[in-house]
Amino acid sequence: MRAQRRGWKSQVVSEKRLESSLTDALGMAVLTVSDTRSLDTDRSGALLAEHLQAAGHRLLVRELVRDDRYRLRALVAAWIADPLIEVILITGGTGLADRDITPEAVLPLLDKQIEGFGELFRSLSYEEVGVATLQSRALAGLANHTLVCCLPGSPTACRLAWERILEPQLDSRYRPCNFVQAIRARGSPASISE
């Protein structure tokens, strides 16, 4: 069990693999960035955790961190270095308010930014919220072959990102290409833990 760190709230989740037709279950972490929520009131993080497990992936850890650029960066950096965590889904802190610091905390950690992720998210979001989508700074990238995705804090935005982008891209059967190919280029985490 992970130790409780000052300023972070943690919920460690069983690594039990759910039955699914998914051929390559990925180890994932969900992080909520918020000054106003707790793990109990965090609907966006809960939604992402529920959806990724329903798709057959493994939720390794779910945490909440306050809007603090350096604590956020330190936690994400530790997860990037963890060979069992292959995908990090971050919700919250992507808007334009002064306290919205998620992109600034995460961008320096990325080896490669996936520009198309944010572009596609805003395009899809436009269908639901119109030009308000301009205020989303959703982004994704790779760091140490770990996929890091920064999503808005609303459950509607998280559902949109999961259903229309992440779920298909995190399925190794999706063609012509998918994120699993880039993630698994470093080798399977199953072989690391054996």
Mean pLDDT, the chain, integer? 87
Per-residue b/e over 36-53, b at no fewer than 16 CB within 10 Å?
ebeeeebebbbbbbebbb
Instruction: Give the pLDDT band (50/70/90) at residue 189.
Output: low
Distance CA 136, CA 128 (A): 13
Q: In this structure, what DSSP letter does residue 126 have?
A: H
Q: Which residue has the tokens 């963890």?
A: 82
Distance CA 28, CA 19 (A): 16
Task: List the domains of the chain with CATH numbers.
Answer: 24-187 (3.40.980.10)
Mean pLDDT of 8-14: 41
Q: Is 62 helix (H, G, I), strand (E, B) or coil?
A: strand
Distance CA 185, CA 143 (A): 12
Share of the chain above pLDDT 70, in %: 84
pTM for the complete prediction? 0.86
For 123-137, the pLDDT digits (tens) are: 999 999 999 999 899
**Can you say whether residue 37 is alpha, beta or left, with left for phi > 0 and alpha for psi between -120 and 50 degrees?**
beta
